[in-house]
Amino acid sequence: MTDWHFPPGFIWGTATASYQIEGAVHEDGRGVSIWDTFSHTPGKTLNGDTGDVACDHYHRWPEDIAIMQALNLNGYRFSIAWPRIFPQGRGAVNQKGLDFYSRLVDGLLAAGITPFVTLYHWDLPQALQDEGGGWARRGIVDDFVNYADVVSRALGDRVKYWTTFNEIFVFATQGYLTGEMAPGAPILDLDTFLAAGHHALLAHGRAVPVLRANVPGAQVGIVHYTQAIEAASDAPEDVAAAQRLDGFMNRWYLDPIYKGEYPADMLNGLYAYFRPPIQPGDLDAIRAPLDFQGVNFYERSIVGEGSDLPFINIRYVRPEGEYTAMGWHVYPPGLYDMLTRIQRDYAPKAIYVTENGAAFADEIAPDGSVHDEQRVAYLRGYFQQAARAISDGVPLKGYFVWSLLDNFEWAHGYDKRFGVVYVDYPTQRRIIKDSGYFLAQVAAGTAK
Ligand code: IFM
């Protein structure tokens, strides 16, 4: 039996991102993105996989909406591909790109599904990367605001929920520091890394009033990658290591938005010899009031001082227990800890879990079904913790499972399956997994 209670009107949905599902990369005037370039560079993705076709969602979106409807979902979080709107990053608008998202939004609304739009989920127009290194160039802030303006004018009569960025931490770190993601260079250049993160935060803050001006009744937020971090012991060096990692992953991106400042312990510690390129007025702009905070939650780490991550000087302790195919520890109470902590430290008006889910090695059974019991158990555990957070006063308004479909998991290619719907890539056949049927019951309030 379930022992949870979710309030009436709670949003149950799934989340996706443009490059991970759409395919059709050469269609209707779409420009080249940094992920096209990166995935076509030998050695950058597993098996050389690319998003050229992905889940072919660009053509199959009516079927995908029908699946969401069959799953009783009332929300859908998706992202807009900037290079479909501005093939060169700025300049002439590609109307066919806007038309695609307009049709998608109309289809969702007709199906009773509320669209949650993310403006930037990592597929930057290559032209903007070529011009001064993408997010490293301050002028990209104006380009993003212009893009946000055009998209929100076109869709704002029907889309009320807007998020500016998905996981600045992840694309700044893996794109501009470690090189595991696009644009993939330069490696370990802290100045470029801090500049990329700062410009993205600033672009977010500057876009907020534009979204509000264009969208009557707008609900504006941002989506953060969050990780619950615990110290391996009470030893001062382990406690300091946990604080450092928390600063690196969580507080560096949350503090400027809610407190108008970067965390002092990081400025005086890890980044003592580096600085984000802050100009007068930047931090005020970044602190633009928001309507909600999006929380992507997958991981909890136990860390001490050590050399697993030499740059941050931490070591990981791997607790016993279950791990997903990504090597992430399954620990549902971590979600409760993160939600209550964000509420305590930042007090956003509302919170949505904008991503949570797991990759497991799914297979089609002889009966043609996909019996993903591990994912069902995973979701049940995390949903329970979300309900617990609500009953303890967290203003959690919705929950988006990552992901609707198995899809292109960035450098891991198609090897990692996160969907509640299985995609048989050679045929593009969709098969609702047991976890999809479970989510449908949860959304309908009939789960046992
Ligand atoms: O697939 C990603 C998504 O694009 C961003 N958040 C984490 C997911 C799983 O790794």
Q: pLDDT digits over 22-41, tens only?
A: 999 999 999 999 999 999 99
Query: Among residues 276, 284, 49, 295, which one has the least CA distance to residue 172?
Result: 276
Q: From residue 244, how far is each of 126, 230, 259, 412, 434 by CA, in Å?
A: 33, 11, 18, 28, 40
**Residues belonging to the active site:** 167, 355
Residue 5 forms part of a structural domain: no
- Residue 358 lies inside a defined structural domain of this protein: yes
Query: Is residue 2, in this structure, part of any structural domain at all?
Result: no
Range of the domain at 361: 11-444
Atom of ligand 1 nearest to the CA of 357: 9
**Cα distance between the two ends of the chain:** 5
| Cα–ligand 1 centroid distance for 8 (angstroms) | 28
| 296 touches ligand 1 (CB under 6 Å) | yes
From ligand 1's centre to the CA of 34, what distance in Å? 17
Q: How many residues belong to the chain?
A: 448
CATH label of the domain that carries residue 214: 3.20.20.80
What is the number of the ligand 1 atom nearest to the C-alpha of 298?
7
Residue of 324, 402, 404, 406 best suited for mutating to test ligand 1, as the one with most atoms within 8 Å of CB: 402
Query: CA separation (Å) from 314 to 193, 227, 239, 245?
Result: 20, 15, 11, 8
123 lines ligand 1 (CB under 6 A): no
Domain count, the chain: 1
Distance 407 CA to ligand 1 centre (A): 10
pLDDT at position 3, please? 79
- CA of residue 213 to ligand 1 center, whole Å: 30
What are the phi and psi torsion angles at 13 (to 5°)?
-150, -175
104 lines ligand 1 (CB under 6 A): no
Quick check: is 4 in a domain?
A: no
Confirm whether 94 is domain-assigned.
Answer: yes
Residues 212-265 pLDDT 10s: 999 999 999 999 999 999 999 999 999 999 999 999 999 999 999 999 999 999
Does ligand 1 come within 6 angstroms of the Cβ of 126?
Answer: no
- Among 155, 159, 184, 148, which Cα is nearest to 43's? 184
Q: Is any ligand 1 atom within 6 A of the Cβ of residue 167?
A: yes
Of all protein residues, whose CA lies closest to atom 2 belonging to ligand 1? 409
Which atom of ligand 1 sits closest to the CA of residue 225?
6
Sign of the CA dihedral running 315, 358, 161, 442: negative
Residue to substitute in 20, 78, 409 for testing ligand 1 pocket (most ligand atoms within 8 angstroms of CB): 409
pLDDT in tens, the chain (448 residues): 677 899 999 999 999 999 999 999 999 999 999 999 999 999 999 999 999 999 999 999 999 999 999 999 999 999 999 999 999 999 999 999 999 999 999 999 999 999 999 999 999 999 999 999 999 999 999 999 999 999 999 999 999 999 999 999 999 999 999 999 999 976 778 999 999 999 999 999 999 999 999 999 999 999 999 999 999 999 999 999 999 999 999 999 999 999 999 999 999 999 999 999 999 999 999 999 999 999 999 999 999 999 999 889 999 999 999 999 999 999 999 999 999 999 999 999 999 999 999 999 999 999 999 999 999 999 999 999 999 999 999 999 999 999 999 999 999 999 999 999 999 999 999 999 999 999 999 999 999 8
Is 387 inside a domain boundary?
yes
Tell me the angle at which helices 168-176 and 190-214 cross, rounded to the nearest 10 degrees: 150
Q: What is the pLDDT of residues 382-392, one digit of tens each?
A: 999 999 999 99
> Both tokens of residue 437?
């049927």
How far away, in angstroms, is 312 Cα from ligand 1 center? Answer: 23
- For residue 310, what pLDDT is reported? 87
Does some domain include residue 245?
A: yes
pTM of this prediction exceeds 0.95: yes
Query: Which atom of ligand 1 lies nearest, measured to the CA of 121?
Result: 4
For the chain, give the secondary structure using H, E and C: CCCCCCCCCCEEEEECCHHHHCCCCCCCCCCCEHHHHHHCCCCCCHHHCCCCCCCCHHHHHHHHHHHHHHCCCCEEEEECCHHHHCCCCCCCCCHHHHHHHHHHHHHHHHCCCEEEEEEECCCCEHHHHHCCCHHHCCCHHHHHHHHHHHHHHHHCCCCCEEEEEECHHHHHHHHHCCCCCCCCCCCCCHHHHHHHHHHHHHHHHHHHHHHHHHCCCCEEEEEEEEEEEEECCCCHHHHHHHHHHHHHHHHHHHHHHHHCCCCHHHHHCCCCCCCCCCCCCHHHHHCCCCCEEEEEEEEEEEEEEEEEECCCCEEEECCCCCECCCCCECCCHHHHHHHHHHHHHHCCCCEEEEECCCCCCCCCCCCCCCCCHHHHHHHHHHHHHHHHHHHCCCCEEEEEEECCECCCCHHHCCCCCCCCEEEECCCCEEEECHHHHHHHHHHHCCCC
**Chain center to CA of 109:** 22
- Ligand 1 center–CA 92 separation, angstroms: 31
Question: What pLDDT shows up at residue 1?
Answer: 64
Q: In this structure, is residue 6 part of a structural domain?
A: no
